[in-house]
Structure 1
Amino acid sequence: MESLIPIINKLQDVFNTIGAESIQLPQIVVVGTQSSGKSSVLESIVGRDFLPRGAGIVTRRPLILQLQYVDKEDKSIRDVSEGTMNLDEWAKFLHTKNKVYSDFEDVRREIEAETERITGNNKGISPEPINLKIYSYRVVNLTLVDLPGITKIPVGDQPLDIEQQTREMILSYISNPNSIILAVTPANTDFATSEALKIAREVDKDGRRTLSVVTKLDLMDAGTDAIDVLCGRIIPVKLGIIGCVCRSQQDIINKKSIEDALKDEAIFLQRKYPSLANRNGTMYLAKTLNRLLMHHIRDCLPELKTRVNMLISQFQSVMNSYGMAIDDKGQTLLQIITKFASSYCSTIEGTANNIETAELCGGARICYIFHETFSRTLDSIHPLSGLTTIDILTAIRNATVRYSSALFIPEVSFELLVKRQIRRLEEPSLRCVELVHEEMQRIIQHCGTEVQQEMLRFPKLHEKIVDVVTQLLRRRLPTTNDMVENIVGIELAYINTKHPDFHDAQLVSSLFNKQTKQTNKEFDQQRHQQQQPKMLNNDMTFMQNMQQHNVQNQTFAKPNSAFSGSQPNLFRSFVSNKGETLNNNVNDVETSSQSSTNANTPIASPVKSVNLLPEVPSTTNVRKLTPKEEHDCQVIERLIRSYFLIIRKNIQDSVPKSIMHFLVNYVKDNLQSELVTHLYKQENFDYLLKESDQIAIRRQEANEMLKALQRANIIIGEIRETHIW
């Protein structure tokens, strides 16, 4: 079991070399207030003067002290090359590598120099530790950490929050569940006010890993003693309370040796505390610490083995992610290009290994753009949006100028207005192309994890791949936009009133042909009757015939149809939303006829005349439309609505297909060939495959950590069950 501590010291060396904090090794942490005697206790355990001494704060950096027992006759641990063959005691610092210190005065000076190198020479502190290993026949195997003393008021260059910094530094060490806390308290102070025990209880509430040391027993006031304290009657400590007698500052000045100090300590304990002498003193403290540490290591060892094996697996995965050294740059470049192109296409198709769960991406987002964003946008466009009754009436009147009479609704007005509405579908269609293009660009950042790691490893290659993909997408964008514009242009080029889904146009055509024949017959009868002397009776007969004809045409009405027109002149009878026949009565015809024949009668125009003078707000209301005008506007609205819905449905289907063909599928099919054409050039291999400095540093750190863990695993494997039990 004695071999456990040297093994832990070996592990400490392994992890201190790389500064790893992931492994919490068992060790003894010395905690106490400033000038409480911590350094004197450590020197007494070592048997040598090697720590800086003086007034005020002296220990200003953590000192990790590893003590290893070496028999005088044991040559196995001594190295001729290092000059230790003939030495009984020597020391080594981690920061000076293999330099051997045989004079412990040099050790003290090196500690002071290394402390001032980091903290300065005016009482500053630093959490960066100093690692010191001492080989001696005087010591027992121990690992100790000497920390700066707890202080209250800053001095020198110390920051104003020196107390807080010191506490945080101490807590960072004693919070380790594998550490034993050595709480040092001077005997000439009230034990109940011990700062060391107070801070130890913050992290060790049960006191299972706290050992208390009472120093300076010889400095207690006359007539007092520490029997109650040492027996645990004032404050019990589970691991025990051990009293020591430290050398005073005057003893150090007088160069009193530690051997003499230990003898005087034994004499003092026998005289002052005869019943407790065998359970106190520096030698008993060292043996107790050795026993506690060995048992503590035994308890922590299984968990330590598991932790080391787990970290080996983790760092092996990290090393694999960073990649190994490149042997064939051409092959490596081609593999990365192929892997990227495959990952890019898989993201679009939704077959990637690592599926995003936080947001839609790739093909799923493109489908969302098509079926949700684009489709809903088109559905939100009303067929008559932005089209007023005045606009419709104006279009009808402008188209009626070419005809001698306004008996029928001209088809030109319908085509003019429906094209205006269809053109409104172009902008959201082009915006749909833009959204898909943006998502195709964004997919570059959503490729697989393996590809992303390669991109981080080779930043120049990443930049070039992004540039090639961006240029490919940019070249396809005008082609796709042109196709979408052509889709809308095709619909505008020819208004197909013979469309099989345009049922209202067929109805209007049949009604128009029959209406025209009947109307021509009635007009012939009217002219014949005008030659008779009784004009009034003839007019009444004409009106009755017209009304009878309108009643007959009601059988052609379809209440729930959407309406359109296909003939150059549309007749005046149509069906409303409610299935009611909209008729222009004779009074409307007469009124219209009178208005057109009377040149002196002013006509209300739906278009405001041009006026170069400042506009004056009008207070007059627009006149009410005549029944004929209302009827004509309703017919045009019906036709526009019906035809617009047909075209909107066509565009909802054609635009996504065009985007998929001209942009998405084209990029998928040509991505790898584009990357190979632009990147796979031998003269660019070195430039493209130049590793990132950060990745190189991280790989080196991970490699060092992996090697350290593997060495640690070998060291732990040397332990046999007999060593533990």
Structure 2
Amino acid sequence: MEGLVHTHLNDQIRPYLDLIDSLRLMGIDQDLPLPAIAVIGDQSSGKSSLLEALSGVALPRGSGIVTRCPLMLKLRKLKGGVQWRAIISFSGTRKEFTDKSQVEEQVKTAQNELAGDGVGICDELISLEILSPDVCDLTLIDLPGIARVPVKGQPEDIGDQIQVLIRRFIEKSATINLVVVPCNVDIATTEALKMAQEVDPDGKRTLGILTKPDLIDHGTEQNILDIVNNQVIPLSKGYMIVKCRGQQQIQDGIPLEEATRMERDFFSQHEYFSGLFTEGKTTTQSLATKLTQELVRHIKDSLPTVSDKVRDELFASKKQMTQYTEGPPTDAPGRKRYLVDAIFRFTSQINNLAAGEDNLHVALRSHFEKWLDDLERSQQPSVSKEILDVVKQYDKKHRGRELPGFSDYKVFEMVVQKLVKKLQDNALYILGVIRETVHKHFVNAADPIFSNYPNLRCVTMNMIDKIQSRQEVKVEERIKEQFEMEALVYTQDKTFLKTLKGLSEDNSPEEFHECEIPGTSKDDRFKYTGMFKAYYEIVIQRLADQVPMLIQLFLLKQSAQLLCTEMLSLIDGVDLDKVLSEGSDAGRRRNELQSRIERLSLAQEKLSQELS
């Protein structure tokens, strides 16, 4: 039929469109973006008229928001002699019909069901497949017209809602954005082109469509030529200009076939636009051909990337699936075996943590090294000053007839006790940090095994908390006992003399000149201060080892043993149905993941066949 939007496509093109459609039918677009053409435009831009001209059917029209849901318009050219038919699908509903005049009403019904009666919008997709000998092979996604001011019955933020919906489609790198702009408005101010530029600043995925060329003011034709010739706002895919049926033509009953002939005549005979007609930059028919070529080229270019993404998503999904089991058996013996297996897997991991077969000990060592750093920092340069301060205080309070420098052994004890007491808070702080670290690793061991069973996980978490709390109290008592023992000021004579000798060899009297003890010489000060330093060095070494050993013994080793024992006691002491009750989302997540793996596997197989 002459004048209709017909593009006889090479048989090699159709398989690419069918491939993407089959991937969409599998639901792959839930997992990754597929090549598509999204149609956007401000309200009353001529978007609906353009889609009608391409599809050959009447779509919902009117003022305000007409497209209230994304509409995937799939046009499929059939061999001659085959009857026209359409299939509309949405939200689990599928309906086939053979009367063209029903299209507008069917789309309205679907929109009302999804978005409600009125003027609201919904982001759920409606699929409308047109199968006819009089259409081109093409798939378009029609999006709501961009609104600025809400009308009666619309929420105040309707403009923002529409932009969010549109952006969700056009920001995908796999989408070609078809921007519809009327010729009689300033193209630089149109919201649709602004949005397209935001997501595609280089214009590589954007094709501009100018509509309503018959409405431009005389004398502005050159401006339109400049735009179409890519001289105003350049786009890699360029611009085209079309003239579809206007409202008056629709009211006059002019059919689409006649409107297409009129469009061709308008451009071919136009004083300014006839050159564009010759170049193939005008008419809906030329646009249909260009869109099909662009989409097929885009699909060809995207297929290797799509294939890689399908492979990556499949690998990631299979990896996630390893966290989910098939679920516990329904029979009591089977459920018990299932529980035993889960508990043994958990206790095995806990034992590995305690034995150092995990990175937990790496974290502990870093904390213990910090404890050692704190101890070593406490040695210098404050020890001499502490000695001087204590001696001065003692002399002030207790020295009577004694000569200077003859203070008794109590001074030694007072210095040591004062220095050591300051370290207890640091030791208890390290204890708290280690407790959190061990607790975190215990919980991380439980989560992958028990995450699907909230009751069992809750029981396990309570055990971990209670055991860790009890053990923390015990080790805190032992640490405090350790510091009480350090207040006794004791070490073996040989140990003390050996340490003192080492200090004497490593240092000189000049090291202690700052300790101005009245009535003592420099050599005396060295001897006097060196005794304190030697003993403090012994204290530091004891605490450096003893505190970490106490913490590891009580918080890690004993905690792990107690936890494993109490977990094993669950096997014969719990309600199997209760502890193995799956969480409300666990089964759903597992099923969703399984469905995803299945469709990705099918997609991978199909893509491999196509690319081989």
Interval containing the TM-score (normalised by the shorter chain): 0.7 to 0.9
Say if 2:127 is the partner of 1:131.
Answer: yes
Paired residues in the alignment total 571
Matched AA of 1:134 = I
Matched AA of 2:137 = N
Q: CA deviation at 1:247?
A: 2.3
1-side partners of 2:122 and 2:478: how far apart?
69
1-side partners of 2:196 and 2:365: how far apart?
58
Return the TM-score normalized by structure 1.
0.64
Matched AA of 1:132 = L
2-side partners of 1:363 and 1:656: how far apart?
12
Say if 2:113 is the partner of 1:67.
Answer: no
Q: Secondary structure at the match of 1:702?
A: helix
Q: CA deviation at 1:42?
A: 1.0
Q: CA deviation digits over 1:54-93, x for unaligned, max 9?
A: 123322333222222344777xxxxxxxxxxxx6302222
1-side partners of 2:237 and 2:545: how far apart?
83
Q: Secondary structure at the match of 1:289?
A: helix
Q: Which of the two has higher C-alpha Rg?
A: 1
Assess if the C-alpha contact under 8 Å between 1:31 and 1:184 holds in 2. yes
Residue in 2 that maps onto 1:258: 256
Q: CA deviation digits over 1:482-521, x for unaligned, max 9?
A: 555555666777x8799445679xxxxxxxxxxxxxxxxx
Q: CA deviation digits over 1:117-161, x for unaligned, max 9?
A: 565655444555433333333322211021233444443355666
Matched AA of 2:15 = S
Q: Secondary structure at the match of 2:322?
A: helix
* Residue 181 (structure 1) aligned to one of 166, 177, 180: 177
* Residue 306 (structure 1) aligned to one of 304, 308, 315: 308
Assess if the C-alpha contact under 8 Å between 2:86 and 2:128 holds in 1. no
- Of 252-261 and 284-293, more deviation after overlay is shown by 252-261
Distance 1:674 1:220, change over 3 A: same
Assess if the C-alpha contact under 8 Å between 2:463 and 2:563 holds in 1. no
Q: CA deviation digits over 1:426-472, x for unaligned, max 9?
A: 67458625633651343121359665433544444343333323433
* Residue 143 (structure 1) aligned to one of 139, 143, 146: 139
Q: Secondary structure at the match of 1:68?
A: strand
Unaligned runs of 5+ in 2: 1-11, 499-508, 513-518
* Residue 43 (structure 2) aligned to one of 34, 38, 41: 34
2-side partners of 1:182 and 1:492: how far apart?
82
2-side partners of 1:647 and 1:269: how far apart?
100
Residue in 1 that maps onto 2:283: 281
Kindly report which structure 2 residues correspond to 1:548-627, keeping only aligned pairs within 5 A, or say none: 576=520, 578-579=522-523
Q: CA deviation digits over 1:160-204, x for unaligned, max 9?
A: 666666555545433433333333333455678766556545555
Assess if the C-alpha contact under 8 Å between 1:26 and 1:296 holds in 2. yes
Kindly report which structure 2 residues correspond to 1:401-412, keeping only aligned pairs within 5 A, or say none: none
Say if 2:462 is the partner of 1:467.
Answer: yes
Residue in 2 that maps onto 1:607: none
Residue in 1 that maps onto 2:19: 7
Q: CA deviation at 1:268?
A: 5.0
Q: Secondary structure at the match of 2:25?
A: helix
Kindly report which structure 2 residues correspond to 1:474-493, keeping only aligned pairs within 5 A, or say none: 474-477=469-472, 479-480=474-475, 483-484=478-479
Residue in 1 that maps onto 2:571: 680
Q: CA deviation at 1:312?
A: 1.2
Q: Secondary structure at the match of 1:145?
A: strand
Matched AA of 1:711 = L
Matched AA of 1:440 = R
Kindly report which structure 2 residues correspond to 1:321-360, keeping only aligned pairs within 5 A, or say none: 321-327=323-329, 329-344=335-350, 346-347=352-353, 351-352=357-358
Distance 1:429 1:88, change over 3 A: same
Unaligned runs of 5+ in 1: 75-86, 398-405, 505-558, 563-574, 582-634
Matched AA of 2:18 = P
Distance 1:254 1:454, change over 3 A: farther
Say if 2:65 is the partner of 1:57.
Answer: yes
Return the TM-score normalized by structure 2.
0.74
Distance 1:259 1:446, change over 3 A: same
2-side partners of 1:497 and 1:281: how far apart?
101
Q: Secondary structure at the match of 2:93?
A: coil
Assess if the C-alpha contact under 8 Å between 1:66 and 1:133 holds in 2. yes
Residue in 2 that maps onto 1:81: none
Q: CA deviation digits over 1:35-69, x for unaligned, max 9?
A: 122111211221122x2111233223332222223
Kindly report which structure 2 residues correspond to 1:628-639, keeping only aligned pairs within 5 A, or say none: none
Q: CA deviation at 1:666?
A: 4.3
2-side partners of 1:186 and 1:491: how far apart?
89
Residue in 2 that maps onto 1:704: 595
Say if 2:26 is the partner of 1:25.
Answer: no
Assess if the C-alpha contact under 8 Å between 1:361 and 1:443 holds in 2. no
Residue in 1 that maps onto 2:515: none
Distance 1:106 1:345, change over 3 A: same
Assess if the C-alpha contact under 8 Å between 1:418 and 1:644 holds in 2. no
Assess if the C-alpha contact under 8 Å between 1:215 and 1:245 holds in 2. yes
1-side partners of 2:86 and 2:261: how far apart?
24
Matched AA of 1:32 = G
Q: CA deviation at 1:335?
A: 4.8
Q: Secondary structure at the match of 1:321?
A: coil
Say if 2:224 is the partner of 1:215.
Answer: no
Assess if the C-alpha contact under 8 Å between 1:441 and 1:470 holds in 2. no
Kindly report which structure 2 residues correspond to 1:366-445, keeping only aligned pairs within 5 A, or say none: 366-369=368-371, 371-373=372-374, 376=377, 384=387, 387=390, 391=394, 425=420, 428-429=423-424, 432=427, 435-436=430-431, 438-445=433-440
Say if 2:293 is the partner of 1:291.
Answer: yes
Residue in 2 that maps onto 1:90: 86
Assess if the C-alpha contact under 8 Å between 2:439 and 2:468 holds in 1. no
* Residue 46 (structure 1) aligned to one of 43, 55, 78: 55
Assess if the C-alpha contact under 8 Å between 1:215 and 1:243 holds in 2. yes
Matched AA of 1:436 = L
- Of 4-13 and 145-154, more deviation after overlay is shown by 145-154
2-side partners of 1:194 and 1:434: how far apart?
62
Assess if the C-alpha contact under 8 Å between 2:336 and 2:576 holds in 1. yes
Q: CA deviation at 1:241?
A: 4.8
Kindly report which structure 2 residues correspond to 1:647-686, keeping only aligned pairs within 5 A, or say none: 648=539, 651-652=542-543, 655-656=546-547, 659=550, 663-664=554-555, 666-667=557-558, 670-671=561-562, 673-681=564-572, 683-686=574-577
1-side partners of 2:140 and 2:521: how far apart?
95
2-side partners of 1:155 and 1:71: how far apart?
45
2-side partners of 1:639 and 1:226: how far apart?
98
Matched AA of 1:180 = I
Assess if the C-alpha contact under 8 Å between 2:346 and 2:449 holds in 1. no
Matched AA of 1:472 = I
Q: Secondary structure at the match of 2:76?
A: strand
Distance 1:650 1:283, change over 3 A: closer
Distance 1:465 1:712, change over 3 A: same
2-side partners of 1:338 and 1:366: how far apart?
31
Residue in 1 that maps onto 2:6: none
